[in-house]
Amino acid sequence: MTLKSSTGNFFEDFEVGDELLHATPRTVTEADAALYTGLTGSRYALYSADTFAQDCGLDAAPIDPLLAFHIVFGKTVPDISLNAVANLGYADGRFMRPVFPGDTLRAVSEVIGVKENSNRQTGVVWVRTTGYNQEDEAVLTYVRWVMVRKRNEASPAPDASAPDLPAAVSPSALPRPEFSAEGYDFNLAGSPFGFEDYAVGEKIDHVDAFTVEEAEHQIATRLYQNTAKVHFNQHEQSQSRFGRRLIYGGVAISLARSLAFNGLANAAEIIAINAGSHVNPLFAGDTVYAWSEILDKADLADDVGALRMRLVATKNRPCADHPLRDVDGKYLPEVILDFDYWAAMPARG
């Protein structure tokens, strides 16, 4: 019998410098955007109404940056993380240009680091992934690192090589948003607060919450064509240490961002990812809460600034006290996401 099915790459299959051309380009449609809204409850006006986006100088409402991110991410899973134990983190991400319905996205990744773990059963792989549109223009790029199983514990370890990554995207390197604040309607956007109304160190409890249902996270992950076994194969995951399927970390990011609308409605456009960690697992039946902290501010143009924010999501714990770490500095067990990003925000003028 010939074997034509792919079992995915294991840790020893990766070498620094490898270029991975990921399969299945995806044309993004208005239906994708509508389904994304249905699965996340996102309310940012710039991605909800053509008329609002047109008043801001765009041809139509773009695709939410996180939807574009998830679609590009999903392309990479069969080659990078099909045999992953966990997706560990993100860094140095930038959203260079908007994605519109009708655009076709494809993804390319470069292996930039590998390091075997001491148990010799797994190793960490670092990749830089870039998403391109149909004009071969880069629309987004990011680094992520993944813990991947080895095919054979006895396989020799490659030379350890970890990339040197910036702690954050510097303000001078931030992509400039393509929307204009000149025609921005704060009333229609849902909040009167502009760039000048936020202070470094300010913390915002986003108050609302979403309970994640089994069907919702399954549909969301299929929407992104993410084939990771840990999200779908209950028969296999019943033998894991959790005994059940994990919810894709991108679902936690999108739900937390949707919750952040209440308090940050005008910080719609994500322009960079500085860091991100999925620190505890999320399961169906858990309820997601979120809070944000303003870490930094930067001027981008006369009428648009950028807020650097930490977005923290918790499960089954409200965030009025901004939970994050215990007295020993360890993440609290209810914390599921610690996400550091820049978002563009119009000034009130």
Determine, yes or no, domain membership for 114.
Answer: yes
**Average pLDDT over every residue of 146-173:** 91
Determine, yes or no, domain membership for 10.
Answer: no
Q: Which domain holds residue 319?
A: 15-153+165-346
Q: Distance between CA 28 and CA 71 in Å, rounded? A: 9
Closest CA to 148 of 83, 230, 222, 69: 83
What pLDDT is stored for residue 2 in this prediction?
A: 59
Spatial neighbors of 286 by CB under 8 A, at least 6 apart, are: 211, 212, 247, 315, 316
30-40 vs 214-223: helix crossing angle, rounded to 10: 150
What pLDDT is stored for residue 240 in this prediction?
A: 85
Three-state secondary structure call for residue 46:
helix
For residue 202, pLDDT beyond 60: yes
For residue 186, pLDDT beyond 90: yes
Cα-Cα-Cα-Cα dihedral sign, residues 262, 291, 273, 20: negative
Determine, yes or no, domain membership for 77.
Answer: yes
Determine, yes or no, domain membership for 55.
Answer: yes
Determine, yes or no, domain membership for 289.
Answer: yes
108 vs 160, higher pLDDT:
108
Determine, yes or no, domain membership for 312.
Answer: yes
Give the chain's end-to-end CA distance (angstroms, integer): 70
Q: Distance between CA 316 and CA 93 in Å, rounded? A: 29
Closest CA to 313 of 281, 274, 269, 270: 281
Q: Which of 130-134, 175-179, 211-215 has the lowest mean pLDDT?
A: 175-179
Determine, yes or no, domain membership for 63.
Answer: yes
Per residue in 52-94, pLDDT (tens digit) is 999 999 999 999 999 999 999 999 999 999 888 888 899 999 9
Calculate the average pLDDT of the chain: 94
Number of domains making up the chain:
1
Determine, yes or no, domain membership for 159.
Answer: no
Closest CA to 270 of 172, 347, 339: 339
What pLDDT is stored for residue 86 in this prediction?
A: 82
Predicted confidence band of residue 212 (pLDDT cuts 50, 70, 90): very high
The first and second tokens of residue 348, run together, are 């009130």
Per residue in 12-32, pLDDT (tens digit) is 999 999 999 999 999 999 999
Q: Return the CATH number at 209.
A: 3.10.129.10
